[in-house]
A and B are shown apart, each in its own frame.
Chain A
Amino acid sequence: MLKIGVLITILTGTGNTSNMWRIALKMLFNDQAKYIGLVIGVAFSTLLINQQMGIFLGLLSRAGALIDDVPEANIWVMDPGVKNLDTVFPLRDTELSRVRGVEGVQWAVPYFKAMATVRTQTGQLESALLVGADDQSMVGIPSVFVMGSAEDLRKPDAVAVNEDGFGKVWRGEKISLGNTVELNDRRAVVVAIIKDSPKFTSSITFYTRYSQALAYTNNGRNQLSFVLVRTSPDYTEKEVTENINAQTGLMALSSSDFRDKAVQYVIDNTGIPVSFGTVIALGIIVGVCVVGLMFNLFVLENLKHFAVLKAIGTSNFRLIGMVALQACVVGFVGYGTGLGAAAMFFEFAGRNPNFAGFFLPWQIAIASGGVAAAIIALASMVALRRVLFIEPAIVFRG
């Protein structure tokens, strides 16, 4: 009780005008079951909105993860039919030279990307992403090495594997170098461990030289997935993409445009937005219903007490202030609890590779605060109306 008393004093201050607020909070905290129920209602909605939105945005960001991992290139050149990173139409090897010849191109390198089959040490097969980067510059290999280096990839059969992928292929083993693996039935030796961005389709990614990647796929020539380009300092991305489009007939996109295109493809062609949107909408609807019903019940049960206060001489304005304060406290505590729970989810779930890269953007946290406020506003609207139009003469009814 002492703690609640201190909390009330902190919330209302000690001025004369705040005394009715103190009574309002005592009324709220006195009915602990309903108070906790109200807080849980708001907290549940807030948690659901933040958790689902965080995962949704995390998933979308995975659609462009490969692009994010190659910050050196600012233009990606591909077949005009390509709609996203996962559906690749190979280019002829000669296209690389043509792109290099376009005005405004500082450098252009080949980039290979394909799915491969990995046989783990326990004999199980796993699907993995195979990335081939330029043999000379190694552009295309993420820059963060947990173990080993880009230079190690120049060795025969050398591959680098991402940190999360290592855990999947060699379950239970501490990350180390020198492990061998069968990649499309060919031997590969792990010479480096890389920290990369989590991908949409596969959590195991092997990185190697472009020529080595072609060898793993056994498909021979004309397997160029993308051409990565850096624009000359004197040219803009727009100028260079237009030049490439015009002179080669290929499709050149800036990294950011390609990323947006990949994300948009996921939004347009998967049920993910609808699925997450439905859960979020349900969270809001359940929040409004639960909080609305409970808050109305709370006010209904206290209606006679509000009537007593009104009969004694409390103005409508003050009574509305009391109910609004009760609603605000429920909203703030519920929102804080829900946001805290969501933050804990991302903190602890982020340690699991399956949830790697998921996060709670501050914009979503603020937006969910707006939703919590809307839930409380909707929920308390009917209650406020009840209090406003309460007939104080009901105090004389037995």
Chain B
Amino acid sequence: MPMSQTHDQATSTNIQTEQRTLAVQCRGVIKEFGAGQARIRVLRGIDLDIYAGETTFLVGPSGCGKTTLISVIAGLLRPNEGTVSLYGEMTSQMRGGALVHFRAINLGFVFQQFNLLPALNAAENAAVPLVVQGMSLSKAVRKASELLERLEMGKHKNKYPNQLSGGQQQRIAIARALVHNPRLVICDEPTASLDAQTGHAVMEMLQELAGAPDRAVIVVTHDSRIYSFADRIATMSDGQITSVKTKQESQLTSDVNH
């Protein structure tokens, strides 16, 4: 079943479809910036379903609205029109503390520039989402350290971001995104600041750790070298989803084109 659907088809879709849990459901999402004549419509009616247990890549040219879309999905931006629901909860209608709390529990982020706090060491950085949820720093650090061990970063857990390479920093960022077991992990260009080999290793690690039947992973990327890690690839152009294909469908199209 294609992930891009007409609005009518989509509204009739249940959260449970073909035994798969619907993690993200966007319907008619419009996002505009600016006011008056300077107003720009960045998202032009996005309909998109993303399922748990899958890694969905969001690809497309620069400026097509990928980052805006994941910001809307994450609840960091509010859509002007349309709805966004995560695991059946209508996040686009949530306000203030409820949305913040929902984000703290359910979302994990991996950023292009890692965005680690320079004042905290690797383990403390990875522990931040747990601390935000109210866990004591020492307990959170212990839990984060266990995850860092799995990421083969145990010996670096006391190092500060400026003492780590780009690849190592991104691993810490992945640990931070996963330490609190979120149901949706959003990655923005996770390999853009890394060389090919490190990028590949980071994606392997992300797939290994984030891949879970009840968890969805969204990856925004320009890096075609890592497309093989996608279960589905949604292509965006000019603020709209133009296609959603499975990995097999994408490979087939690629072969035909070649």
> B-contacting residues of A (Cβ < 8 Å)?
14-17, 19-20, 22-23, 26-27, 29-31, 304-305, 308-316, 391-393, 395-398
- Residues of B contacting A313 with CB < 8 Å? 100-101, 103-105, 107, 129, 132-133
- Residues of B contacting A395 with CB < 8 Å? 76, 109, 111, 115
- Residues of B contacting A305 with CB < 8 Å? 115, 117-118
Quote the shortest CB–CB distance from B161 to chain A (angstroms).
11
Expressed in whole angstroms, the Cα–Cα distance for A392 and B115 within the complex equals: 12
- Residues of B contacting A316 with CB < 8 Å? 100
Contact flag A396-B132 (CB < 8 Å), given A311-B74, A311-B103, A313-B104: no
Q: Which of B70-124 contact A (CB under 8 A)?
A: 70-71, 74, 76-77, 97, 100-101, 103-105, 107, 109, 111-113, 115, 117-120, 124
- Residues of A contacting B137 with CB < 8 Å? 19, 22-23
**With A311-B103, A398-B112, A398-B113 already in contact, 19 other A-B pairs whose C-beta atoms are closer than 8 Å:** A14-B136, A16-B136, A19-B135, A19-B140, A22-B137, A23-B124, A29-B119, A311-B74, A312-B103, A312-B104, A312-B109, A312-B132, A313-B100, A313-B104, A315-B100, A393-B71, A396-B71, A396-B76, A398-B192
- Residues of A contacting B124 with CB < 8 Å? 23, 26
Expressed in whole angstroms, the Cα–Cα distance for A23 and B105 within the complex equals: 19
Expressed in whole angstroms, the Cα–Cα distance for A16 and B137 within the complex equals: 8
B68 nearest in chain A by CB position = A393
List 4 A-B pairs, minimum CB-CB distance, nearest first. Answer: A313-B104, A30-B119, A393-B71, A393-B76
- Contact of B26 with A by CB under 8 A: no
Q: Are B133 and A396 in contact (CB under 8 A)?
A: no
Expressed in whole angstroms, the Cα–Cα distance for A313 and B129 within the complex equals: 8
- Residues of A contacting B135 with CB < 8 Å? 16, 19
- Contact of B47 with A by CB under 8 A: no
Expressed in whole angstroms, the Cα–Cα distance for A305 and B97 within the complex equals: 20
- Contact of B49 with A by CB under 8 A: no
Task: List 16 A–B pairs whose Cβ atoms lie within 8 Å, in order of A's numbering.
Answer: A14-B136, A19-B137, A20-B131, A23-B131, A309-B132, A310-B100, A312-B107, A312-B109, A312-B176, A313-B101, A314-B104, A314-B132, A395-B76, A395-B111, A396-B76, A397-B67
Q: How large is the interface on B (under 10, 10 to 19, 20 to 34, 35 or more residues)?
A: 35 or more
Interface of A is mostly: helix
Expressed in whole angstroms, the Cα–Cα distance for A314 and B111 within the complex equals: 17
Q: Are B120 and A23 in contact (CB under 8 A)?
A: yes
- Residues of A contacting B113 with CB < 8 Å? 398
B134 nearest in chain A by CB position = A16
B193 nearest in chain A by CB position = A398
- Contact of B189 with A by CB under 8 A: yes
Expressed in whole angstroms, the Cα–Cα distance for A288 and B105 within the complex equals: 40
- Residues of A contacting B111 with CB < 8 Å? 308, 395-396
Contact flag A19-B136 (CB < 8 Å), given A26-B120, A396-B71, A396-B188: yes
- Contact of B128 with A by CB under 8 A: yes
Q: Are A393 and B77 in contact (CB under 8 A)?
A: yes
Expressed in whole angstroms, the Cα–Cα distance for A305 and B132 within the complex equals: 14
Expressed in whole angstroms, the Cα–Cα distance for A14 and B138 within the complex equals: 9
A29 nearest in chain B by CB position = B119
> Out of B76, B131, B136, which one reaches A311, CB within 8 Å?
B76
Expressed in whole angstroms, the Cα–Cα distance for A398 and B113 within the complex equals: 6
Q: Are B76 and A312 in contact (CB under 8 A)?
A: no
Expressed in whole angstroms, the Cα–Cα distance for A312 and B192 within the complex equals: 21
Q: Are A398 and B189 in contact (CB under 8 A)?
A: yes
Quote the shortest CB–CB distance from A199 to chain B (angstroms).
56
- Residues of B contacting A391 with CB < 8 Å? 76-77
- Residues of A contacting B70 with CB < 8 Å? 396
Contact flag A309-B128 (CB < 8 Å), given A14-B136, A395-B109: yes
Quote the shortest CB–CB distance from B43 to chain A (angstroms).
13
- Residues of A contacting B71 with CB < 8 Å? 393, 396
- Residues of B contacting A312 with CB < 8 Å? 103-104, 107, 109, 128-129, 132, 176
Expressed in whole angstroms, the Cα–Cα distance for A111 and B101 within the complex equals: 81
> Out of A23, A309, A392, which one reaches B76, CB within 8 Å?
A392
Expressed in whole angstroms, the Cα–Cα distance for A31 and B131 within the complex equals: 22
- Residues of A contacting B74 with CB < 8 Å? 311
- Residues of A contacting B192 with CB < 8 Å? 398
Quote the shortest CB–CB distance from A54 to chain B (angstroms).
38
Expressed in whole angstroms, the Cα–Cα distance for A19 and B130 within the complex equals: 10
Q: Are B119 and A27 in contact (CB under 8 A)?
A: yes
> Out of B67, B105, B120, B136, which one reaches A396, CB within 8 Å?
B67
- Residues of B contacting A398 with CB < 8 Å? 112-113, 189, 192
Expressed in whole angstroms, the Cα–Cα distance for A316 and B112 within the complex equals: 24
Q: Are B117 and A19 in contact (CB under 8 A)?
A: no
